[in-house]
Amino acid sequence: MEDKNARTAVLPVSTLTEPLLPGKGASFSRTCLNLTNAVSGIGVLSMPYAVAQGGWLSLALFALVGALCYYTGTLIERCMRADPAAAVASYPDIGAFAFGSAGRRAVAAFMYVELYLLAISFLVLEGDNLDKLLPGVTVDLLGYRLQGKQLFIALAAAAVLPTTWLKNLGVLAYVSAVGLVVSAVLTVSLVWAGVAGTGFHRNSTSVLNLSGLPTSLGLYFVCFTGHAVFPTIYSSMRNNKHFSKVLLISSVLCSVNYGLTAVLGYMIYGDGVQSQVTLNLPSGKLNTKVAILMTLINPLAKYALLAAPITAAIEEKFSLPAGGGPARVAISTVVVVSTAAVASTVPFFGYLMSFIGSFLSVMATVIFPCLCFLKIYKAEGIRRIEIAAITGILIIGVFVAITGTYTYVRQILGTF
């Protein structure tokens, strides 16, 4: 039998994951707000596109994905409770508690790649929407002409760069709370566009599109990606016994907003909806400007939160002082510049988001929680019905990861 002391010895409180949300002793209502902020993100912009890819019936899969992600979130909570004496403070810590140092490395690797690609997607989002808001802008810089999407990606990267140099990112957690307002304003803007502009009369909508279901599933999983910060939020609660209730409330709130955006966007724009629904809004209209401006705030506020764990991991890898001035500035600058360079070459926002959801988010939200839970609790015994349910969830996760990734690669290759 494995020695528990040997297993917990590899569990120092991780410095790789900075708390995204304010400290300890958070109340029930505050934690609901914090968790909803963590889950709610730019995935809302791709919801109408996801329905367009899979058809109306794919919304049933959206409900299934939401239920599965809620359940796997409770598995993370139970992993946190498995041994109160263990210093389980982050997602990699859960991987280490279950599978030792190899588990820590595997979970950390997928988590950092996901964060890096999400940072890229934020810059792509900024570039696309600013180009729509301010079309035709061109700047000559050092003999190079920057224009359109590439110009605005560079400007967005320059805007977020100073925020990545900060040692304490707590203030950014408060700023990111506007993400909830952003999502609500976007939904209102769609209703506004439907009533005053295009109207709800598009007939070119499909009921079911089997070939597009892998893309839809990947985008649906993006909507509920947030499991990597669940341990931090759990630890910050005044009474963490209520975490599952907080998770349920946050999941329902986000699902309602995602669902409304999906239905309204697809009813208005039909199969012609773009990978970011804001790109369908008519240029020059007030509702378009409001939606885009509000949408742009969220990525700018959250970029540094995504980059912080990556920067900390690089600092630890090279044994640099955590939060050290020159080293942190240099590493953060390299991270921002590299994400901007990649963002400038990404052809389609929807494909990138689909890949994140199909592979990386599925690993973080489905496969890792299930495997860690089974490993941690196998000695104590798990009910057969729960083993069957978790096995079924794992099969779904593997299926989505394989088919979604294959579809993503095929679509990308088809653009060249």
Task: Find out whether 268 and 198 touch, Cβ atoms under 8 Å.
Answer: yes
SS3 of residue 218 by DSSP: helix
Mean pLDDT score, 393-411: 82
| pLDDT confidence bin for 271, thresholds 50/70/90 | confident
Percent pLDDT > 70 in the chain is 78
Q: How many CB atoms lie within 10 A of CB 312?
A: 21
Q: Is residue 31 predicted with pLDDT exceeding 80?
A: no
Residue 351 pLDDT: 65
Check residue 118 and give left, alpha or beta (phi > 0: left; psi -120 to 50: alpha).
alpha
Taking the whole predicted model, whether its pTM rises above 0.85 is answered as no
Q: Judge whether 363 lies within some domain.
A: yes
Task: Find out whether 268 and 193 touch, Cβ atoms under 8 Å.
Answer: yes
Mean pLDDT of the chain, nearest integer: 78
Q: Is residue 410 predicted with pLDDT exceeding 60?
A: yes
Q: Judge whether 252 lies within some domain.
A: yes
Residue 347 pLDDT: 62
Q: Judge whether 2 lies within some domain.
A: no
* pLDDT, tens only, 58-91: 999 999 999 999 999 999 999 988 877 667 777 8
| Lowest-pLDDT choice from 269-278, 288-297, 320-329 | 320-329
Q: Judge whether 398 lies within some domain.
A: yes
Rounded to 10 deg, the angle between the 368-377 and 58-81 helix axes is 40
Q: Judge whether 197 lies within some domain.
A: yes
Residues with Cβ within 8 Å of residue 273, at least 6 apart in sequence = 48, 49, 52, 265, 266, 280
Token output for 117 = 């690609």
Residue 160 pLDDT: 87
Q: Judge whether 251 lies within some domain.
A: yes
CATH code (residue 305)? 1.20.1740.10
Task: Find out whether 364 and 228 touch, Cβ atoms under 8 Å.
Answer: yes
Residue 136 pLDDT: 77
151: domain range?
A: 18-413
Distance between CA atoms of residues 98 and 178, nearest Å: 36
Distance between CA atoms of residues 116 and 346, nearest Å: 14
How many angstroms separate the Cα of 248 from the Cα of each of 66, 222, 228, 262?
10, 18, 17, 21
CA quadruple 326, 331, 332, 333: dihedral, nearest 10: 90
Q: Judge whether 3 lies within some domain.
A: no
User: Between vectors from CA 300 to CA 29 and to CA 149, what angle results, nearest 5°?
Assistant: 145
Task: Find out whether 85 and 227 touch, Cβ atoms under 8 Å.
Answer: no
Q: Is residue 11 predicted with pLDDT exceeding 50?
A: no
How would DSSP label each residue in 132-181?
HHSTT-EEEETTEEEEHHHHHHHHHHHHHGGGGG-S--HHHHHHTTHHHH
Which residue did the predictor score with more confidence, 188 or 382?
A: 382
Count the domains in the chain: 1
SS3 of residue 237 by DSSP: strand
Instruction: Report CA torsion sign: 198, 199, 204, 205.
Output: positive
Q: How many CB atoms lie within 10 A of CB 301?
A: 21
Q: Judge whether 314 lies within some domain.
A: yes
For the chain, the distance separating the N- and C-terminal CA atoms, rounded to the nearest angstrom, is 54
Q: Is residue 168 predicted with pLDDT exceeding 70?
A: no
| pLDDT confidence bin for 226, thresholds 50/70/90 | confident
Q: Which of 407, 353, 46, 413 is nearest to 212 (CA)?
A: 407
| Lowest-pLDDT choice from 23-32, 89-98, 215-224, 335-344 | 23-32
Which residue did the predictor score with more confidence, 213 or 136?
A: 213
